[in-house]
Amino acid sequence: MLDNNESLKKEFYETLTEKDLKMIGDLIDGKVSKENKQQNVDEVVEDDSQQYKKYMYEIVANKRNAIDVDKMDYFARDCHGLGMTSNFNHMRFISQCRVMFIKDSNETTIAVREKEELNLYELFHTRNGLFRRAYQHPVTHGIQLMIADALVAANDHLPIVTDNGEVKMSKAFDDMYAYEKLTDSVLDVILMSRNEGLNKSKDLIHRIYNRQLYKVVGRTDPKTEFTKKKLKKYEEDLLKNDQQFGKDDFNLQTLRFSYGKDLQNPIKLVYFYKKDSDECVEGKDPKETSLFLPSENFQEEIILLYSTCIDDKKTKYIKRKWDEIQKKQEDL
């Protein structure tokens, strides 16, 4: 934003230096120095003297173990909005944190009192619940697909007007002034427009309001992960030797649920300290804490098959074809 908008840069430079702005950007990105390949972190710290500040890059967006104030903020907000109860106490967690040196190095990290380990599992349990019950709920995801399809259909017919000219919605991310106009009001603008090129978009939005939503007609069993190749194979099998429906009549989607670090257990990447100790150590195997805790899988994916058409007959054909594909796989 600052690189592409001189007026904004001038306004910031009245109180901040180039170094200040770079640090703010790095804190938001959560960039820290490369520690080892397993943690997938980016190179940003250039000299050893900066190692003392590394804990600062674990506050907003923690790339080490995915425990940061960003999650704590939206957990509290969304659990309240959805009427969900979160057993994770962020105030207690923060009170048990200390900035400590990692053993045998001059690198700092945010360490947590070891008795808070169970509390951290509650944090990721809450995250998993929010994704399943809200962010990636099948109905929520279906409506997101419909809105996306409506915006794609409107892209060539509804430019965003700025002082610098017209900008397509698909290019709004390159223009700060166009992007800030890309709000929920776009759907109302589409509905009120007389432009015939927006008819497809209007139909999709009307379907949302009338609850004629994309329907889930098939799903896979949970797997550790699915590849794009697997998704493509499902699409080919659905279209194979079938003239009852076409590619535009269904949509295959992969939904991923995890603890925030893909296949890794993020708790094992947290540094813990004991009472009256000046040393911190990385988390241990969950089995050493409790047999009730997850100890093997920390990510799963499912594939959902949506029927995008209103025609119930087509929807039944799609479901029947999916069931045949799944039956063949079971037989194998």
Is pLDDT larger for residue 115 or for residue 43? 115
Which pTM does this prediction carry?
0.84
| 127: CB partners within 8 A, 6+ apart | 71, 75, 259, 260
CA distance 19 to 42: 19
Could you tell me if 138 and 132 are in contact, meaning their C-beta atoms sit under 8 angstroms apart?
Answer: no
**Residue of 252, 235, 249 lying closest to 308 (CA atoms):** 249
Give pLDDT tens digits for 230-239: 999 999 999 9
Q: Which H or E element spans position 296?
A: none
**Domain boundaries along the sequence of the chain:** 6-133+277-285
Q: List the structure tokens of 117.
A: 């380990």
Read off the pLDDT of residues 138-162 as tens digits, 9 standing for 90 and up.
999 999 999 999 999 999 999 999 8
Percent over 90 (pLDDT), the chain: 65
- In this prediction, residue 205 carries a pLDDT of 97
Q: What is the pLDDT of residue 33?
A: 42
Confidence at 332, pLDDT banded by 50, 70, 90: low
pLDDT of 44: 44
The pLDDT tens digits for 248-307 are 999 999 999 999 899 999 999 999 999 989 999 999 888 888 888 887 889 999 999 999
Q: Span 88-111, mean pLDDT?
A: 92
pLDDT score, position 9 = 73
Question: What CA–CA distances, in Å, run from 26 to 23, 36, 64, 156, 213?
Answer: 5, 19, 14, 36, 41
Q: Mapping DSSP to helix (H, G, I), strand (E, B) and coil, where does residue 251 land?
A: strand
Q: How far apart are the first and last CA of the chain?
A: 53
CATH class for the domain made up of 6-133+277-285: mainly alpha
Q: What is the pLDDT of residue 97?
A: 95
pLDDT tens digits, one per residue of 202-231:
999 999 999 999 999 999 999 999 999 999
Percent of the chain with pLDDT over 70: 92
In terms of residues, how long is the chain?
332
Q: Residue 177 — φ and ψ, nearest 5°?
A: -75, -30
